[in-house]
A and B are shown apart, each in its own frame.
Chain A
Amino acid sequence: MVNQTTKRNKLAARSLVVCGTLLAGTAIWMSVINSAKPATQTAVPVSDNSSSVNQSNGVSNQSAIAVQTPISTTPILQQQVIPRFRTRGS
């Protein structure tokens, strides 16, 4: 009787150790997976779609960026690199 109780206790203890080890391993594995995910990139629009007033001629215009071009239906969304120079017209 005593032997059977001791065996059950040992079995329960081993089960606890195995379960704890599995849980700890799972937690570590999840943390490794999460840390390996690439950082989420947020698209930053060049400009919002609000209308703007051209100060020079007083004409109210919708931003050109929001308008689809006749050549392609893809709008110009964002810039990924800071330009070294800017051509602004003369």
Chain B
Amino acid sequence: MKMFGLVEITRSFTAMNTNVEAVVCVPSGGEKQAENALLLVQDIFTSVEAALSRFIPDSEISRLNRSAGQPFQASSVDLGGIAKGWTVDYAGQKLKDFSGFAIDAGGDILLGGKRADGSLWPIGVVDPFNLQENLTVLELSDCAICTSTTTRRCWRLDGFSGHHLIDSRHGKPADSAVVSVTVIADSAARAEVIAKTALILGPDEGMQFIHSQTGAQGIIVLNNGVLLRSEETREAGYVR
């Protein structure tokens, strides 16, 4: 895309078991600077994954977990619920001097400034019942948007279905009526954590929790298809 003298430079790569895409807007002639910045973003993802992934045997977190119980009592640590969002924020710090940038790590998205054509970033919120479709499209800038859902990373065992969002109150997959929660917040780590918490809390308590968080807005989809959304998300959307 090339308008108003700005161009969007994109870099895509795989990290943390997901596809990552980073975009920066630069004036024509600044492509090299953009490519260097995007390479730095990729390096950040690679290094954080090497340190924090429990799926890499030699990562720091794996070594820590192998030592659980010795020499001190400790449980294993899994940062899967926050590491990706935190890495998106960390990498985004390296892009903040660009007039516009975006990082999308498997749907955990951080947005800064505007696109090369001066417009806001249009973000689709996926329908959890039909992944090819969007529930809505939001125009956003200078914020993060993340979604947690029970329809991904789930399994069936002995006739029971489970998913990866564990309710720490009983140590089992959350059993609320919520299928997915999308949260807009000032950072991806916050949005990710708020979304997971709201999903575990359930529709009413979850929406209250979202609204209790400064600057946070949310969209909650229930398993019966009912959709709850903050008024602010309606204002940010193209379609009401």
Contacts and interface: CB of A to CB of B under 8 A. Distances in A.
Contacts of B163: 56
B238 A80 contact: yes
22 contacts: A56-B151, A56-B163, A57-B154, A57-B161, A63-B225, A71-B228, A76-B239, A80-B137, A81-B122, A83-B134, A84-B102, A85-B21, A85-B107, A85-B121, A87-B107, A87-B146, A87-B182, A89-B152, A89-B182, A90-B148, A90-B149, A90-B152
Interface string B200-223: 000000000000000000000101
* Residue from B21, B109, B127, B224 having most chain A Cβ neighbours under 10 A: B127
Interface string B229-240: 101001001111
- Chain B interface extent, by class: 35 or more
B223 A59 contact: yes
Contact of B126 (A52, A74, A88): A88
B27 interface: no
Interface of A: 46-47, 52, 54, 56-59, 61-67, 69-72, 74, 76-90
Interface of B: 18, 21, 23, 84, 102, 104, 106-109, 115, 121-131, 133-137, 145-154, 156, 161, 163, 180, 182, 221, 223-229, 231, 234, 237-240
